[in-house]
Amino acid sequence: MSSITINLPVQGVRITGLTETVPHPLDAYVAGIRTRSNPAFRAVYDAMADELTSFAFGMLSDRKTAEDVVQQAFLELVKSAHKIKGDGRALRSWLYRSVRFGCLDEYRRRSRRPEIPHEVIPDSQMPADPLADQLDPTLENALNELNKRHRTVVLLRHVVGLTPDEIATVIGSSRRATYAVLSRAEDRLRKILDGES
C-alpha cells in the first residue's frame, strides 16, 4: 500500500500523490481573465483587492500608496491577461508578486526622492487602514525594523496566510530558500519583540 501526503494550506486542500486538488475560489475566473472578460476582472478584484491592499499596506505603511500599488497590479493584469497560465492559485500568486514588485518600486522611488512630511487632512470618505485592526502598535513597530525581504515573508505568512510554497512563488525563490528566509525573519522578529535587537 502506498502512502499519501496531505498538506492543508490556508486556501484549500492540496493532496500530493494524486492528480486531483480541491478547486481554488479563483479557478472559475481564470479563463475569463485570459479572454479579458470584464465580469471576471470585477470578480477577481472584489475577491482580492482588500487582501492585496493589506499586504501592500503592511509593506509600505501608507494606505493611499498601498491602494495605488494594488490598482497598478490590476492594470498590469489587464495588460498581461493573455499570458496568465495555470489555475486560481497561480493567478493569486501572480497578483501578490505584482503587488510586491510595486511595493519594491515604491521603496526605490522613496529612496531617490524622499518626501517632505506634511500635515495630512483626514478624508472622511476613505476607509480605515486595512491592517489597523489586525496589528497592534508594538508588532507594527517591530515589523518596521525588519528588512524588506523579512518583512515581506512575515506579512505573507502570518497576516495574509500564504503557505511557504505560495510565498516562494510570490517572491521568486526556491521552496528551501523561502523556508530559510522565513525562519530567519521570524527569529529576528522574536528578538526585536523580546527587546534583544
Q: Which domains does the chain have, with CATH numbers?
A: 1-16+24-116+123-133 (1.10.1740.10), 135-197 (1.10.10.10)
33 neighbors 51 (Cβ within 8 angstroms):
no
Predicted confidence (pLDDT) at residue 96 exceeds the cutoff of 90: yes
Cell 470585477: give the residue: 42
CA proximity to 158, closest of 193, 197, 195: 193
pLDDT score for 139:
81
- pTM (predicted TM-score): 0.64
Length of the chain: 197
> 17-21, 61-65, 135-139: which has the minimum mean pLDDT?
17-21
pLDDT score for 134:
57
C-alpha to C-alpha distance for 59 and 73, rounded to whole angstroms: 15
pLDDT score for 121:
45
For the stretch 49-77, pLDDT in tens is 999 999 999 899 889 999 999 999 999 99
With a CB cutoff of 8 Å and minimum separation 6, the contacts of 116 are: none
pLDDT score for 116:
55
